[in-house]
Structure 1
């Protein structure tokens, strides 16, 4: 091998972020949990109490939007998001429609943010596969 060949060899590491999202909406309030994993394997966890009343589905969208904004601000260009909400995953992926006006607004925001990423995916996972984000969401509603 000559010098030019050696210079052309490079290791391509993973370039895609992963994001796990969940929500909690109960009598104590609404909160979201996020677990973001950078391409280098750095884990960022966030528990966020929402200062307004939401349904479970609205809180799940809040988690999705917060996760997308955080990855974009951290310089991420591609992301695989994971949610245990079949409704949100179905709406964002175009398999289900958002009929409620407020849900349509959330969906529109998600579509705008998704244009920052190439590629972007939102995949459904089981509740048991999302326990860390679920715990963070519950933590957000545990105190005033």
Structure 2
């Protein structure tokens, strides 16, 4: 199954924040349509390594994003 989603931000954001926002939007969409197993791909090494737990998230804003991703991924049987 392939779904497409367009996102427009009404606030200024860093590249890393945009990457997290896109990930959160995708996770929310997948959860809402009942996806159980999910594979996410990104060209952002920082985000993939932080979400995977291999990089420490030091910036407070990114820590909040990482926590939201962690909470959403808990809804999937595999991520």
Please list every run of at least 4 consecutive aligned residues from structure 1 whose deviation after the TM superposition is greater than 3 angstroms. Answer: none
Structure 1 residue 78 displacement after superposition: 1.0
Aligned counterparts of 1:45 and 1:76: Cα–Cα separation in 2: 15
Larger radius of gyration: 1
Give aligned pairs, total: 79
Gaps in structure 2 of 5+ consecutive residues: none
Stretches of structure 1 lacking an aligned partner (at least 5 in a row): 1-37, 121-144
- Secondary structure of the 2:22 match is helix
Equivalence for 2:6: 47
Higher fraction of helix: 2
**Which of 1 and 2 has higher RCO (CA within 8 Å, sep 6+)?**
2
1:65 aligns with 2:40: no
C-alpha RMSD of matched pairs (Å): 0.7
Query: 1: CA distance between counterparts of 2:5 and 2:70?
Result: 22
What TM-score results when the alignment is normalised by the length of structure 1? 0.54
TM-score normalized with structure 2 length? 0.96
Aligned to 1:56: 15
Match of 1:92 in 2: 51
Query: Greater strand percent: which structure?
Result: 1
1:106 to 58, 62, 65: 65
